[in-house]
Structure 1
Amino acid sequence: MRLNRIELINHSRLKDLNIEVREHLVVIGANDVGKTSLFRCLNLILGATAQQLYQGITVDDLGQADEPFICRVSLIDFSDDERALFPDETTIQADGSEVLIVELSVERSPDDNEQVIIRRWFPEGTDRTPNRGQLDAFGWQYLPASRSSAIEFMQGRRSPLRSLLESTDLGADKQALVETLDAFNGKLESNTALEDLRNMIAEHLSRSMPKVIDKSELTIRTTADPNSDVLEDVTLFLKRDEGVRALADQSDGVRQLMTMTFFDLAKSGANMVAIDEPELHLHASSQRTVAELFASGKNQRLLVTHSPYIVQRFEPKHVLVVTADQEVRQIPSSSFSSVEKEMANWWSPRLLEALTSRRTLVVEGIADRVFIEACARKLGVPLDKLGITVLELDGADKFKHVYNLLGKNGFDLDIIGLVDHAERGSWMSALSIKPKNINKKVLFVANADLEDEYALGMGGPAAGQALIDEGVCREQGILQAAGVSAVADLTEAQVAEFARDRKVTSAVAVGKHVTVDQIARMPAVSGLFDYIKSLDV
């Protein structure tokens, strides 16, 4: 059994959504946009007991207080044993496939505005609430982000490690371990020093209790009962060069890796395994290792993550983007084939950063990004705070490939473009921009290229002097290349031509010296920042 579709209506943290779950689901987005809220809803409908539902849901979860909040999921691909548990609840679709619809509805109580009425049921089958066996059959397991400070997720009584130990068959050695434990307890009982300790404790207890306590009424032994669970008090330690250390004494990163390893092993029989922020406290290389572990699992994986290394291990069709406006985006099924062709070259950490931004400013290369970011600092425009990622392409011709992923046929994100004049055609077509709107919104076209832009805005002498001052070239070198005798004689065209052979270092140099007034004389750049300032961000 696995998730096939999720629908939310009237939730306080997310806009209404109706999404398809394709094998796996990887949810990404900026902080505080509702990613964890989505998983919380899934945990409530698929994993919570009735008591947990009323403990976990309040009127604050309702978007509109007078309307019900509804979470509805579709489950498909049943085994014979699972199908037998839902004889009257599954329905047959038009294509002949079976589906199980589960709905959670929450509404404010008519008798008390601070209380809610909760119903979890099968809307297309029976009116009954799922019983315990049916809840277990869903096979939902959830590891929340709050595990970061909770050692019980590793070795508590309900931890995955405890589940692994309890499911371990000791075989023929079990009786020998029981006898050894009994013998050990016997030694504790007969030890003279411990007998004296029991006698001392009994005397002190007798002074405060209604009746006299004899030492024979006290026993010192292990907490494990050899006759029920010989491994009850057993846990795991790490043996290192410095000695044996408990799990609680490990670093945060090691504890996280072990927690997820235990969880993954213990829940190998689950249908759906959901983990919120699997990258917590992990180095980039460990994030890649964890991503490989999850992506290769047999059960369905649902992840909330900020790690591009984890996202990269899954396919674009598995990714759900939650925007800053709390809307969701996923690639349409009709675009799978064209998007998959772009994965090898463009499904990278840099591109994935753009998926979580409010808007993506696409530029041709590194030099363009360096100069635009420098201008933003000079103008006091905080691109990061505004949620704008600057993505360089290593060539204008790459735009069509990236647009397949980010544009209307992909994740349908908001894109702004900065391009050289000669390359503007394909960008205009993709962004549906008319010539009259160039340098006013969405697409900004340099009057040749970026080198011409900043040489024009700064003037030949000022731009040339910036290159000299920052060590891009010697004064004599640029003068000789331009065929002039003094910096004051440098023209904009000469400086631009010189800078094109040193794109990145030139962009860094002029970015340090450019002024606000000079930026205002650059048509494409000034138009770009005027547009950014006008956005409702």
Structure 2
Amino acid sequence: MKISKLKIQNYRNLTDVNIELNRVVVFIGDNNSGKSNLLRAITLPFMNDEVGSINKNLGWNDINNLAKERYFAFIKENIQTIINGNVNLDEFEDIIPFVMVEATFEPDGADEFYVHRWINSLDDEKPVYSICYKYYIENPKDLLTHIQNILKQETDSIENLKMNLLPIEFFKYVIMIPTTGEQIAYNELANFKYNSLAAERDDFSNNSNRLGSKSLVNLLHNKLSDEDKVKIEKSYGKFFDELKEISNIEGVFNWQENSELENAKDFFDEISLLPNMPSMSSLLNNVKLGYGDEYLNTQGLGYRNLIYLFVMMNSLEISSDMALNILTIEEPEAHLSTSNELMLASYLNSLVNSSSQLQVFISTHSTMFLNKLKLENVCIVSQGKAFSLKSELKDKQLDYLAKKPNLDFIKFLFSRRCVLVEGPSEEIFIRSYLNSQTNSLHDIEVISLHKGFTKMIDIWLKVNEDSTNRLGIIRDFDNQPNAQEQHEKYNKYKNVYVTTTEQYTLEPEIVSTGDNYKKLKAYFEKFHGWTNIDTPKSLSEKWQGAKAETMLKFCKDIGIEELSEIELPQHISRVLHFLQSGEKQ
């Protein structure tokens, strides 16, 4: 069993999301793109396995801002019509904000039993099973009357009345079958549960006296059977009796027992000390964790996070009568070293493969959790939108990405300014030049990619369609005018700029630019002992035939006096200018 599709409308910054899912889903995206909101939205139709609560009420800030803006714009445009009671109720109902999360299931064999009532539609005679969480205004007419009464008193401005014009107490939530609106029974939802591991894990066992994690306290509490709790209560009573015997503290209170006043006991009954049994959570919260012979709070932050994740994931009990257990993990890489990231990624893979009843959703900024052989698991989140590589790319394109060596996928997609080049020489040359510009800041990322720029541009444009990010492409002249035309047609996009070299390689391009030849001749004679480089052509040929270390040494020397005024080749200069200013030359 797995959730195969997810639709989200108007939840926080997620206006309209419709994505296909695998049993492992990895959300990647920039900060504030909506990854955490996606993880939270996934859990809304289901029960929390940690505390068993099904309270799914949302708040004002959980409703999408664009949806609220459309609603308030409607009110502003129709103030008098609303006051006069002439607003069309159906038209008003269509503009009222709501939050919706719809999950579609793909049952496996006998798992169909758990979802057989949730038929949403028939697709090629194959049933589609879905449930929907909806947070909405139950009675639009009552809301309209409420708004009408407010506007009769205050018509000048609605800017300071927004929370009164859309009061949260008018909202309710329901978990239902989308096509029929029939509510899902509690006993049906009980077969679908989730566990969430949020990014805020830094306080785990940070307190030297307590466990330090509410999640772990709840975990321990839920692992205790009724029989276990009875044993704890008896043990607490035994501890209290022994405490009284050791301290003889009751003698302090019962002074009348040994008083010289003969009738003291006639006035005072025996004072007894009774155990004040703390709540189970209070008892568990005073447990102190250790790691080996040391307390856990003395370990490093990263190691505490690693232990926390392993303990919580290992605690998942996936019973045979559970239809689906959902696990969401936010930024599992937080504070972890590379080796520990690798170990955690390996454990997650093992965990998923151990049970067909577990589905894992991860949000991350680390490529360690991206399996190049399973890029169909990746969902890209950008500016409140999301799409899965599984549905957006063909198998050949996924294979193409998988074969790219050392391609930093996240860096390419989400850098604010990125330039793709064809080889390592161009990469280190541009990086060295940018580093030598010590009088200005830049945020340009340079990535070497051998071939296939058009496919990469298509993916980048999908992610950065409405963003202010920019992509530059520097490709080699290969005497293939059709390929050059296919690449340079992307210059029609305002945030993409493609240029092509005039020479076959970088070295003669540098030599032939401006007055570079004279400076380069002097540099190579002085620092490399080169002779017979009396023409630009002879210098270019000697440089092309030199070892790779020569280009590396040249790049390291950029910025020294002899190379301080070296000009960039035009195709590179134009791209860098575009990335920094947005202007194409």
Q: Same fold (TM over 0.5)?
A: yes
Q: Does 1:53 align with 2:57?
A: yes
- Identify the range of structure 1 (459-468 vs 104-113) with the bigger mean alpha-carbon deviation: 104-113
Partner of residue 524, structure 1: 571
Separation in 1, partners of 2:99, 2:226: 47
Question: How far apart are residue 198 of structure 1 and its match?
Answer: 7.5
The equivalent residue for 1:445 is 501
Letter in 2 for 1:461: K
Q: Is the partner of 1:25 in helix, strand or coil?
A: strand
- 1:141-156 matched pairs, under 5 angstroms: 141-149=195-203, 151=205, 155=211
Q: 1:499 aligns with which of 534, 539, 543?
A: 543
**Correspondent of 1:361 among 419, 434, 441:** 419
Change (3 A) 1:279 1:366: same
Are the structure 2 counterparts of residues 283 and 452 from structure 1 closer, same or farther at C-alpha, using a change threshold of 3 Å?
Answer: same
Q: Give the match for residue 207 of structure 1.
A: none
Q: CA offset at residue 320 of structure 1?
A: 1.5
- Give the Cα–Cα distance (whole angstroms) in 2 for the partners of residues 253 and 182 of structure 1: 39
Structure 1 pair 290/193, CA: closer, same or farther in 2 (3 Å)? farther
- Secondary structure of 1:315 counterpart: helix
Matched-pair contact (CA < 8 Å) for 2:36–2:330: yes
Q: What's the secondary structure of 1:447's corresponding residue?
A: coil
Choose between structure 1 and 2 for higher RCO, CA contacts under 8 A separated by at least 6 residues.
2
SS of residue in 2 equivalent to 1:422: coil
2:376 counterpart SS class: helix
**Take 2:556 and 2:268, find their aligned partners in 1: how far apart are those partners?**
86
Instruction: Give the 3-state SS of the residue equivalent to 1:93 in structure 2.
Output: strand
Q: Residue 430 of structure 1: CA displacement?
A: 5.5
Contact 1:433 1:443 in 2 (8 A): no
Match of 1:192 in 2: 247
Report the CA distance shift for 1:25/1:157 in structure 2 as closer, same or farther (over 3 A). closer
Computed over aligned residues only, the root mean square deviation of the Cα atoms, in angstroms, reads 4.5
Alpha-carbon distance in 1 for matches of 2:180, 2:362:
31
- 8 Å CA contact 1:28–1:304 kept in 2: the answer is yes
Distance in 2 (alpha carbons) for counterparts of 1:45 and 1:253: 33
Contact conserved, 1:6 with 1:20, CA < 8 A, in 2?
Answer: yes
What is the aligned counterpart of 1:463 among 504, 520, 544? Answer: 520
1:203 matched residue in structure 2? none
Q: Distance in 1 between matches of 2:11 and 2:229?
A: 52
Name the aligned partner's letter for residue 408 of structure 1: D
Partner of 2:100: 71
For 1:291, the equivalent position in structure 2 comes to: 345
Is it true that 1:279 corresponds to 2:333 in the alignment? Answer: yes
- Indicate the residue corresponding to 1:408 in structure 2: 458
When residues 140 and 212 of structure 1 are mapped into structure 2, their CA distance, relative to the original with a 3 A threshold, is farther
Distance in 2 (CA, whole Å) between partners of 1:56 and 1:141 is 24
What's 2:376 paired with? 317
Distance 2:245 2:391 in 1: 73
CA distance in 2, matches of 1:279, 1:39: 16
Alpha-carbon distance in structure 2 between the residues aligned to 1:75 and 1:409: 26
Change (3 A) 1:424 1:170: farther
TM-score normalized with structure 2 length? 0.70
Alignment-derived partner of residue 119 in structure 2: 90
- How many angstroms does 1:283 deviate by? 0.9
CA distance in 2 between partners of 1:409 and 1:464 (Å): 43
**2:489 aligned counterpart, secondary structure:** coil
Residues 10 and 63, structure 1, Cα contact 8 Å, conserved in 2: yes
Matched position secondary structure for 1:6? strand
Q: Secondary structure at the match of 1:159?
A: helix
- 1:5–1:20 Cα contact (<8 Å) kept: yes
- Give 2:396's match in structure 1, choosing from 338, 361, 365: 338
Distance change (3 Å), C-alpha of 1:2 and 1:350? same
CA drift at 1:31: 1.4
Name the SS for the 1:124 alignment partner.
coil
User: Is residue 167 of structure 2 the alignment partner of residue 115 of structure 1?
Assistant: yes
* 1:235-285 Cα deviation digits (max 9, x unpaired): 573343xx341x444321122112211221223425211111111111111
Q: Classify the secondary structure of the residue corresponding to 1:304.
A: strand
The corresponding residue for 1:308 is: 367
Matched, 1:17 2:9: no
Q: Deviations over 1:11-44 (max 9, x none)?
A: 5524532111122211111212222122232233
Give, as a single letter, the amino acid of the residue that structure 1 aligns with 2:243: L
Q: State which of 129, 144, 147 in structure 2 corresponds to 1:99.
A: 129
Aligned pairs for 1:189-228 (under 5 A) are 189-192=244-247, 216-219=272-275
The count of aligned residue pairs is: 492
Partner of 2:302: 253
Task: Letter of the 1:321 partner, please give it.
Answer: I
Question: How far apart, in 1, do the equivalents of 2:219 and 2:498 lie?
Answer: 55
Structure 1 residues 47, 468: CA separation in 2 closer, same or farther (over 3 Å shift)?
farther
Runs (5+) with no aligned partner, structure 2 = 72-94, 147-163, 256-266, 319-323, 353-357, 465-470
Q: Is the 8 A contact 1:273 1:301 kept in 2?
A: yes
Q: Deviations over 1:169-215 (max 9, x none)?
A: 899x9999998776544322311365578889xxxxxxxxxx99975
526-535 or 60-69, larger mean C-alpha shift: 60-69
Identity of aligned residues (%): 18
Alignment of 1:154-169 (within 5 A): 155=211, 159-160=215-216, 162-163=218-219, 166-167=222-223
Task: Supply the distance in 2 between the matched residues of 1:430 and 1:197 (Cα, whole angstroms).
Answer: 95
TM-score norm. by structure 1 comes to 0.75
Which position in structure 2 is the counterpart of 1:486?
Answer: none
- Which one is further off, 312-321 or 407-416? 407-416
